[in-house]
Amino acid sequence: MRLSRRTSQLALVLTAVLTLLIAAPLARQAAVQAQSSNQNQLTVYSPQTTYSVPLLDVNGQSYVGLVDLFEPLGTIDARADGKKYKFRFTAPGGRPLESQFNEGKDKSKVRGENYKLPANFVIQTGRGYVPLSAASVVLGKLLGTDAQLHPAARRLFIGNVPIRYTLELRPGNPSHLLVAFSSPVNPSIATEPGRVRLTFRREPVVSSGADTVPYSDPLITGATFSEHDGLAEVDVTGTAPLMANFADGGKTIIITGAPPPPPVPQEAPPPAPPPTAPAAQPQPKAPAAPRFLVLIDPAHGGNDIGAAITPDLPEKDVVLALARRLQHELASRGIAAGLMRNSDVAISLDQRATAANATRPALYIALHAANTGRGVHVFTSLLPAANLSPGGFLPWDTAQAAFLDLSGSVAGSVAAELESRKLPNTTLPAPLRPMNNVAAPAIGVEIAPPGDIVEEIASAPYLQQVAQSIAAGVAAVRSKLPEVRP
Amino acid sequence: MTRRIVIIFAVLVVIAFGLAYYAVQLKKKVARDEQLAAQQALASAPAANGTPTPVTLYLASDSDGTLRRTQLSVALPPERTERARAVLRALFGQYLQSGSPHPIGAGADVRDVYLLGDDTAIVDTNSAFANAHPSGVLTEELTVASIVATLNAADSQIQRVKILVNGQERETLAGHADLHRFYEAGNIGAVVKDLQ
């Protein structure tokens, strides 16, 4: 039996469409999965904080997650509804601003205005991603301020945050190069023979003029600015070993020749006669100022996803969102807080304890999430009380035993704040790693869904309530916790 | 293109969808059968020898985060380590039942219990116990506390318990509860009081 030519063509088209419908999502998924393992990071500098956001590579184009991008800047509520992705952002003290994106489409509506994305919107495991080149526009529209993207360097500047610098060469013997910044900086400094490299990871340092400045000086031959991989570098070259010193409260870095190494004595010199006048004694270095730092440890990360709260919602993401809110809430109460991780990276349990002990925080808070139970569980270490001095040598396995009383005080205070906000809570000791190894007051906080709907564990209002409770609980017992010298 | 090709294509599409549906159903059936087999294995093993004796189990509940004492008649062998294993298998059997308030991974089992001296028990579990255990601080703590408290209730001489997985030390049960350490029955007893 023969079909008409038109029917044959129709059958062919139908076959092609069916094949495409089945193959396209699979191919895209494979492409995303193959490339997501090679994630890059975008460094975002805002007036409030500096943070890193993982980038997703989709078909050779960099994408950034809206939740990752906006979470440190305010309150967000995002949900995928089929192919639609609804995103609500509320800046601190501001009103909610709505946006809507469509998977596989470049048309979007940001704050009520139509905006054409430079490439199609992507939804991956329930999260919405915009092309990196659109990040500054979306940020600008929702924050109401300018945002500048340096795409090649993967650096994004929100508002008037860039730190600029000037170079001034003072010839002499030896010559000095003064690098003066508009704000204090704290770069890592690496020296090699004839070279000093200043690396700025957290400071939004940008070039003020020419990137390369040559000098016809016998010691310092040039300075070069570069930015790449989410950081900036100032590279100073010379004809002899160089060294860098801070001045002007960290606003100036002076680069000059390094002193020659002391000669190696061949023989013991004869004893010097006693000085007739008292020699100038070196002044003892002033002790560093005490500081009160809370170290927040969002558990898991990288390949270790923790509990699967839902198939699309891993514990590692929930706790990172909570950690960022908690850091913000503590800062609003005048308490400095650091994050053990501010991106999706894997850190082993021993590494966490080692880093915590090296940081010497006034308080260590481990954050966890689970899909079983209700409300918030506050934990202290499950160790028998031991008569250990916090200042002495502490055994690794039971370091926490010396701080159990203080840890219990913090846990009680946090539980009281949770109670006052009518959040169901339980406080008890738990064998939670790595709390036993932490030589500082330490608590663990595990959030479970607030009610029957598991997905509400990641809702903005719930996370905010929990973060406020923890921060208020810490603030209430701050005077009991010893400030620790760095 | 003939109509025959179109019909063949349509039939192939139907077969493909049919096979996919069958594969999903088969996977569900295998999971059900494995769970049932595990329950039956645990329920039947201790009955091989020994006389039925009432034992106290500390049963966990995830929904309210509690441990509750309950009595169960279990056939207990005379030998001390075998008795401890039979009690723990009865405990696991409760958790493996469908609708358990504290489910653990399908196929979880106690391979052996060893005694170090009179007061220390080493509980060797199988891989399924840890690999398929739900992840969470409280849910893992409930499992550990339930094992230690149940062992101590069955044999009051056992004061310290260490849990191995497949004969090996493991860092955590499912990402949270410490499995490197020895658990003191007295220490866990205080937790059990909090959880009741």
Q: What is the ipTM of this complex?
A: 0.76
- A368, B1: Cβ pair inside 8 Å? no
Domain of A467: which CATH number? 3.40.630.40
Mean pLDDT of A96-111: 92
**Cis geometry, peptide bond prior to residue A263 (ω within 30 degrees of 0):** no
The pLDDT-based confidence of B1 (bands split at 50, 70, 90) is low
Q: A179-202: buried (b, 16+ CB within 10 Å) or exposed (e) per residue?
A: bebeeebebeeeeeeeebbbebbe
Mean pLDDT of A250-266: 69
B7 within some domain:
no
Distance from CA of A384 to the nearest CA of B (A): 7
Contact A43, A52 (CB under 8 A): yes
In one letter, which amino acid is A219?
A: L
Q: B81-115: buried (b, 16+ CB within 10 Å) or exposed (e) per residue?
A: ebbbbbbbbbbbbbbbeeeebbbbbbbbbbeebee
- Do A108 and A222 lie in one domain? The reply is no
The pLDDT-based confidence of A387 (bands split at 50, 70, 90) is low
State the pTM of this model: 0.58
A138 within some domain:
yes
Q: Is A216 exposed, middle or buried (0-12, 13-18, 19+ CB in 10 A)?
A: exposed
A285 within some domain:
no
Mean pLDDT of A251-267: 67
B160 within some domain:
yes
pLDDT value of position B110: 95
Least confident of A20-29, B82-91, B183-192: A20-29
Distance from CA of B161 to the nearest CA of A (A): 13
- Do A440 and A398 lie in one domain? The reply is yes
A24 within some domain:
no
pLDDT value of position A36: 38
- Do A123 and A58 lie in one domain? The reply is yes
Least confident of A281-285, A411-415, B30-34, B145-149: A281-285
Q: Which residue of B has its CA nearest to A451?
A: B63
- Do A341 and A390 lie in one domain? The reply is yes
Q: Is A271 exposed, middle or buried (0-12, 13-18, 19+ CB in 10 A)?
A: exposed
A409 within some domain:
yes
Q: How far apart are CA A96 and CA A71, in angstroms?
A: 14
Residues of B in contact with A370 (CB under 8 A): 135-139
- B63, A372: Cβ pair inside 8 Å? yes
- A384, B184: Cβ pair inside 8 Å? yes
Per-residue pLDDT of A53-70, as tens digits, reads: 888 888 888 999 998 899
Question: Residue A326 contacts by C-beta under 8 Å, 6 or more apart in sequence?
Answer: A296, A337, A365, A367, A467, A470, A471
Domain of A244: which CATH number? 2.60.40.3500
- B176, A368: Cβ pair inside 8 Å? yes
Nearest alpha-carbon partner for A179 in A249, A246, A227? A246
A412 within some domain:
yes
Mean pLDDT of B95-104: 93
Q: How far apart are CA A316 and CA A298, in angstroms?
A: 7
Across the beta sheet with A212-214, the strand order is A188-192, A195-200, A231-238, A220-228, A212-214
Q: How far apart are CA A174 and CA A252, in angstroms?
A: 18
pLDDT value of position A446: 97
Distance from CA of A293 to the nearest CA of B (A): 25
- Do A339 and A403 lie in one domain? The reply is yes
pLDDT value of position A68: 86
- Do A316 and A465 lie in one domain? The reply is yes
DSSP code string of A108-128: EEETTEEEE-SS-BEEETTEE
- Do A324 and A470 lie in one domain? The reply is yes
Tell me the residue range of the domain where A96 lies: 40-158
- Do A64 and A139 lie in one domain? The reply is yes
Mean pLDDT of A458-478: 94
In this model, does residue A226 exceed pLDDT 60?
A: yes
In this model, does residue A177 exceed pLDDT 70?
A: yes
- Do A154 and A170 lie in one domain? The reply is no
- Domain end, chosen from A140, A158, A176, is at A158
- Do A459 and A387 lie in one domain? The reply is yes
A2 within some domain:
no
In this model, does residue A27 exceed pLDDT 50?
A: no
- B6, A3: Cβ pair inside 8 Å? yes
In this model, does residue A477 exceed pLDDT 90?
A: yes
In this model, does residue B40 exceed pLDDT 60?
A: no
Q: How far apart are CA B183 and CA B140, in angstroms?
A: 14
Nearest alpha-carbon partner for A341 in A356, A329, A330, A331? A356
Mean pLDDT of A338-364: 90
Contact A157, A344 (CB under 8 A): no
- Domain end, chosen from A232, A257, A282, is at A257
Both structure tokens of A89: 């952002």
Phi and psi dihedrals of A181, rounded to 5? Answer: -105, 155
In this model, does residue B174 exceed pLDDT 80?
A: yes
Looking at the structure of chain B, the number of domains it has is 1
The rounded mean pLDDT for chain A is 83
- Do A307 and A385 lie in one domain? The reply is yes
Query: What is the gyration radius of the CA atoms in chain B, in angstroms?
Result: 22
Per-residue pLDDT of A135-163, as tens digits, reads: 999 999 898 888 999 988 899 999 989 99
- A436, B4: Cβ pair inside 8 Å? no
Q: Which residue of B has its CA nearest to A424?
A: B64
- B191, A368: Cβ pair inside 8 Å? no
Contact A305, A316 (CB under 8 A): yes
Q: Running DSSP on this structure, what letter comes out for residue B19? A: H
- The β-bridge relationship of strands A293-298 and A252-257 is unpaired
Residue with the bigger pLDDT between A409 and B5: it is A409
In this model, does residue B113 exceed pLDDT 90?
A: yes
- Work out how many CB contacts closer than 8 A connect A with B: 105
Mean pLDDT of A401-419: 94
Looking at the structure of chain A, the number of domains it has is 3
Q: How far apart are CA B185 and CA B150, in angstroms?
A: 10
A281 within some domain:
no
Residues of A in contact with B138 (CB under 8 A): 370, 372-373, 377, 426, 430, 446, 448
B6–A contact, CB cutoff 8 A: yes
B118–A contact, CB cutoff 8 A: no
In this model, does residue A263 exceed pLDDT 60?
A: no
B14 within some domain:
no
Tell me the residue range of the domain where B139 lies: 38-195
Which helix (H) or strand (E) is A21 found in, with range? Answer: helix A5-36
pLDDT value of position A298: 96
Interface of A with B (CB under 8 A): 1-3, 8, 11-12, 15, 18, 299-300, 304, 306-308, 315, 349, 368, 370-374, 377, 379, 382-384, 397, 426, 428-433, 436, 444, 446, 448
In this model, does residue A474 exceed pLDDT 80?
A: yes
In this model, does residue A193 exceed pLDDT 90?
A: no
A269 within some domain:
no
Both structure tokens of A164: 């600029």
Least confident of A37-41, A103-107, B80-84: A37-41
pLDDT value of position A294: 94
- Do A80 and A172 lie in one domain? The reply is no
